[in-house]
Amino acid sequence: MADLFNYLEWRGDITLDQVPFNKVDALLFALVSYNIFDNLVPSDFKTQISMNEVLERFRQAPDLEERKDIGAMINERTYDVFEQAAISLRFCGLTVCGYRSIIDLEKVEQFAAITFIYNNINYIVYRGTDDTVVGWKEDFNISYLPQIPSQSDAIKYFEEAASVLKGKFVLIGHSKGGNLVVNTAVSCKSKLQKKIHQLYNFDGPGFSKEFYIKKEYLNIQDRLYSFYPGFSIVGMIFNHPQNFEIVHCDGFAINQHDPLTWQIKGGDFEHEKDFTSESKFFYRTFNDWVSIIDSEKREKLVNALFGIIEASEYKTNKELVKNRLKASARMIDAFAKQDKQTKSEIHKMVRILHQTVKDSIPMLSLINVNK
């Protein structure tokens, strides 16, 4: 069994000139994007610094330990992957720019992106959902909004990058970041589509069936590479592309969403022949349930569910875990104030999630669906 650390041992001394960028490199970039680069990487695209300099700034940061503690939902070794990559021969020659990070409670948005550059190829990486409650709420808002704020900002980010940077573009994202990759490629102007060399979607939520017959999607589908773990939940939300690879992972259940559980062989992944029965069950049950509820009702349910979670007064999964008793008491009180029909629908929503993700997501595990 081999993971990204093993990959860096095998390929770390082989340059991108010797062995070109591949799908495993893309997964590594997707994971690295979860690191907190605030005030370390320039936010514009003209000011570019080396990977070595980014690492040195990271190491010298007075809040290094806080930066490394990304939260309950992100692998604690994410910084270690970045550190090993930055000192490797394969990635030390990259330059970095365009780091943006937005947390907007009012707009309900969690968005972050960073750009790596090598040999006239620009690798834009959209961060997936982080540890924040607002980030998770934005994900649920996909169920009724035609476009969530992070999708709009992802398009703007690509447009700005393309107005400054020359060469081809590779768009990469894990989890919600994968959704942003696909949506950006389909929603951007046709002249920008032509600049896209490749698209990498790692277990990102999907779209409606109609999305995949759009002319704009058909224009980019041959450049899109989608990957899902055998036990996929996030990637089973809505419909996914027809062409994809199923990756063998050593994580249990929903933990297979973690890129560090994805198994690697050389410059490729170890594969599974099919999704697990639990993943298929979730795909059928969740999407069937969503399909019979109109968008107005979905909006009401999402707002009610997150109104309960937000009643805890904690803003991250990490805080919810640390203050479980206080959070539970406040959430139970907020749940009790909902009307009978809303309670019933919240029960259905959370039960579907509990049957597959169990207690892996703190903000959901604190909602007792048996009451």
Q: What pLDDT is recorded for position 369?
A: 45
Q: Can you list the alpha helix ranges (DSSP code H) found in the chain?
A: 4-11, 23-32, 51-60, 64-68, 78-87, 133-141, 149-164, 176-187, 190-193, 215-220, 277-291, 295-310, 317-322, 324-336, 340-357, 362-365
Provide the pLDDT for residue 290: 79
Strand order in the sheet with 168-174: 49-50, 95-104, 109-118, 121-126, 168-174, 196-202, 224-229, 245-247
Q: What is the mean pLDDT of each run of 10 residues along the chain (371 residues)?
A: 94 96 98 97 98 97 94 91 98 97 96 97 96 91 92 98 98 97 97 97 94 96 98 90 96 91 96 94 84 87 91 92 91 91 83 66 63 44
Instruction: Look at residue 355 in the predicted model and tell me its pLDDT.
Output: 66
113: nearest Cα among 50, 55, 159: 159
pTM over 0.95: no
Q: From residue 148, how far is each of 136, 174, 320, 346 by CA, in Å?
A: 12, 17, 25, 22
pLDDT of residue 371: 44
So what's the pLDDT on residue 354?
Answer: 67
Beta-strand relationship, 268-269 and 264-265: antiparallel
- 262, 27 in Cβ contact below 8 A? yes
**Single-letter amino acid code for the residue at 90:** R
